Amino acid sequence: MSLTTGDALIIVDVQNDFCEGGALAVSGGDDVVPVINALSRYCENRHIPVYFSRDWHPSDHVSFKAQGGPWPPHCVQSERGAAFHPDLYIPERAVIVSKGTAPDKDAYSAFEGTDLLHKLREQSILRVFVCGLATDYCVKSTALDALNEGFEVFVITDGMRGVNVQPDDSRHAFEELENKGAFLTTSYEVVES
């Protein structure tokens, strides 16, 4: 199961607004940073592509409550909340993918309205390993889109946390992903195997 040629690591939305003290903080969001840093360094040392997605919203984004959306303003372009967590390690050759950039279009998946799919195809990627924030929204959507595009998908469960608007939302997300064909794994299995 270890990462190898033909694999890519996709790290979803580890941004200030989704971490402790952020506008849309995920409980335990900061806890994923050391796990993800270890994965990023592991990939960097083996020349495995690493992609970081980020919400990069205009100030009048459709997902914000003022525009009738469900969320408070978050990850507004160039503001502190949109920055990656300060302790997040971003390899020099990592690719950053910005999503949710159009005011009138929401985008939970890192594939939606971005060139991520094109970049993965360009590098002949067959398997993707997904982690980040939040399990029950953007991570789930990204993993489902990867499955729909024919990738083999591994969800790194200790490298993510959920919003859990309902207490079981993350568990349901894992069940849905497994039912659709994703494999649940941990960073230990990925790195040590």
**Active-site annotation holder among 13, 30, 136, 145:** 13
Give yes or no: 13 in active site. Answer: yes
Give yes or no: 19 in active site. Answer: no
**Active-site annotation holder among 43, 138, 140, 145:** 138
Give yes or no: 43 in active site. Answer: no
**Active-site annotation holder among 99, 131, 136, 140:** 99
CA distance 154 to 131: 9
The DSSP string of 132-168 is: EE-IIIIIHHHHHHHHHTT-EEEEEEEEEE---SSTT
Half-sphere exposure of 26 (CA within 13 A, CB side): 31
68 forms beta bridges with none
Known catalytic residues are 13, 99, 138
